[in-house]
Structure 1
């Protein structure tokens, strides 16, 4: 069974996030494996752990991005993934979700030896862009059913079943394999790599491929081919001083209600 987890290297939320002059995310700052993608890797590994023959399940992680994106792949390998595929090409800079899904679909096939993988697992969104549309686009490009926003996953007898927890209802949905799956941050805490796993990850293969290797036309990706663009960016304004509502002569409640009402908090 071939399982592919799509992951992304994103700027560290605690770092000084900024944009380039071309209004794309500056990826030269400190980065890491997107937290939401850790859940995708975890679910892929749990499926392998629960399989009747775990050695017959190969979990590959796929990521596109600059050279530093390999850091995210290494983290996934330390968690337990078997191999990594790093798509790196100068033409990818500025790619939007449509272009990203095109490349990831081709990379998923490449990771599975030219065939459609049995299962493609994604996080619910990336923590930098936060669009959450790539899993659906992947399913369309690969011609597969999609099971999205899953909080509980089970694979059995060639079928995938997933529980989706909404604000007002709980659904159980399913599909026959192969399929595309996206999981939420409620699907299960991602495992922490042990020292032994960190050492073992250094020997696991990471294939570096280009758009030419994937047979993807470079004119279909990058900023020039993107259907969505960032028109303008501005630095976050400094945090203003807070307002202290004091209880003077028993008027604190009225003062607090007045403050909340005037700011439309209630």
Structure 2
């Protein structure tokens, strides 16, 4: 079974984002970029499926600027077999991403699409669901466990009442949650091997998908600074202050 794993290049999660002076967005100049953490989990799960003999090939795809090749190389170093870069300038909204991914799926014919449930830069949490709708495939979102057996994909997901297990008939779209696994670090030998693995480059326009933005950003601002705490002398004073604030 071929597994397709979309990955996204985002600001590294250890870096504090800076808002542009004109408040039109986040400043990306001279900022460390890396693979979206949820995408890392998806790549790791695909590699584990391959190690179990379930997956025969792992294809990673990224949509964005040319520098996204670095993100694909990271995925290849983790164990993916080949990559596809769909070049596009500017922000590509989830619907356009889903339409491009559908075109890639039509070409590659994978048995499973495994992707992160959301990206940490915009937190949209829409691409997986939109892709499943466009493909008319079953979907398992927020997966905390994925088991493939007897031609079915059993996806365990966390819900308000506990855990829910879905039995999906493949092919299927699965989005990964944080507790699915812990991604491995790419070793130096695998990083060197990844440089020799193929990456196909295509333009977004070649898929005939309109990637023009449908949404406009009014203003981006930093969250207000946290107010300093206050020390109290004893528990009685603490309780009285909490009562005055309406906390208890």
Q: TM-score, normalised by structure 2?
A: 0.90
2:208 to 209, 216, 220: 216
Indicate if the aligned counterparts of 2:144 and 2:155 stay in contact, CA closer than 8 A: yes
Indicate if the aligned counterparts of 1:63 and 1:104 stay in contact, CA closer than 8 A: no
Q: Give the equivalent residue in structure 2 for 1:245.
A: 231
Q: Give the equivalent residue in structure 1 for 2:47.
A: 45
Q: Give the equivalent residue in structure 2 for 1:63.
A: 62
Q: Give the equivalent residue in structure 2 for 1:182.
A: 175
Matches within 5 A, 1:116-265: 116-213=109-206, 215-217=207-209, 220-223=210-213, 226=214, 228-240=215-227, 242-247=228-233, 252-263=234-245, 265=247
1:101-144 residue CA offsets vs partner (Å, 9 max, x unmatched): 1122223334x1xxx32100011211111121111101111221
Deviation at residue 265 of structure 1 after TM alignment:
4.8
The alignment's C-alpha RMSD in Å is 2.1
Residue 180 of structure 2 aligns to a residue whose secondary structure is: coil
Deviation >6 Å, runs of 4+: none
Gaps of 5+ in 2: none
Deviation at residue 24 of structure 1 after TM alignment:
4.3
Deviation at residue 239 of structure 1 after TM alignment:
4.2
Indicate if the aligned counterparts of 2:82 and 2:198 stay in contact, CA closer than 8 A: yes
User: Partners of 2:247 and 2:35 in 1: how far apart?
Assistant: 36
Residue 83 of structure 2 aligns to a residue whose secondary structure is: strand
Residue 205 of structure 2 aligns to a residue whose secondary structure is: helix
User: Partners of 1:37 and 1:253 in 2: how far apart?
Assistant: 46
Indicate if the aligned counterparts of 1:78 and 1:198 stay in contact, CA closer than 8 A: yes
Structure 1 window deviating more from structure 2 (172-181 vs 95-104): it is: 95-104
Deviation at residue 19 of structure 1 after TM alignment:
5.0
Residue 117 of structure 1 aligns to a residue whose secondary structure is: coil
Structure 1 window deviating more from structure 2 (18-27 vs 31-40): it is: 18-27
User: Partners of 1:95 and 1:84 in 2: how far apart?
Assistant: 19
User: Partners of 1:78 and 1:174 in 2: how far apart?
Assistant: 31
Indicate if the aligned counterparts of 1:40 and 1:183 stay in contact, CA closer than 8 A: yes
Indicate if the aligned counterparts of 2:139 and 2:173 stay in contact, CA closer than 8 A: yes
User: Partners of 2:74 and 2:47 in 1: how far apart?
Assistant: 13
**Higher strand residue share:** 2
Is residue 2:94 matched to residue 1:97? yes
